[in-house]
Amino acid sequence: MNLEKILAQHKYCFICKGNLAEKGFNYSQCETCGYRNYINPAPTTGALLINEKGEILLVERAVDPAKGLLDTPGGFVDVGENAEDGLMRELKEELGVEIKDLKYFGSFPGTYVFDGVKIVTIGLIYTGKIDDQKITPSDDVSGYKFFNPSQIPYEKLAFIELEGAIKNYISTL
């Protein structure tokens, strides 16, 4: 991840619209009012869901970024939500499912390009089992497929940090 490029996207102060000057590893400061603009990761969630055959569910993204590529179901945590509630909301919106007994697996840093702006993210990955409930893709998902852990198409993943998350998870099976 190139933090300099991300800092360069933040040129103007959110408070007074003055110029921001890079000052440290992850922040810039307004030359007019002194406001410090820190680049902190936006929290996202993802679920590695396993069916009764031991296959991993991946979804096809219906929207950019990475439209048509594979992802875990999940998304950004909304203001006022904790990660677990955010993930449960996303699973309901994207697949129409409710998963019980989600377990936190780990965090994986990444980036997400939205409208040409690169956003630094921290992906909070959870694991769980999906039973035979009906899956209905909607919202940001155009389809889904279950994959044998030995046949994950890593080259078709939407975000590079997913590869590490999935490989780490498979190593625990």
Query: Is the CB of residue 102 less than 8 Å from the CB of residue 128?
Result: yes
> Domains of the chain (ranges plus CATH)?
3-38 (no CATH), 42-170 (3.90.79.10)
Cα dihedral: 127, 129, 133, 136 (round 10): 30
Per-residue pLDDT tens digits for 5-28: 766 777 899 999 999 998 888 889
42 φ, ψ (degrees, to nearest 5): -85, 130
Q: Specify the pLDDT at position 12.
A: 92
The whole-model pTM stands at 0.88
**pLDDT-derived band of residue 1, with 50, 70 and 90 as boundaries?**
low
pLDDT at residue 3 tops 70: no
Distance from C-alpha of 70 to C-alpha of 48, rounded to nearest angstrom: 12
Half-sphere exposure of 145 (CA within 13 A, CB side): 14
Q: Specify the pLDDT at position 17.
A: 95
Per-residue pLDDT tens digits for 81-95: 999 999 999 999 999
| Bridge partners, 80 (sequence order) | none
Distance from C-alpha of 94 to C-alpha of 75, rounded to nearest angstrom: 9
Per-residue pLDDT tens digits for 106-155: 999 999 988 888 889 999 999 999 998 999 999 899 999 999 999 999 99
Query: Is the CB of residue 19 less than 8 Å from the CB of residue 135?
Result: no
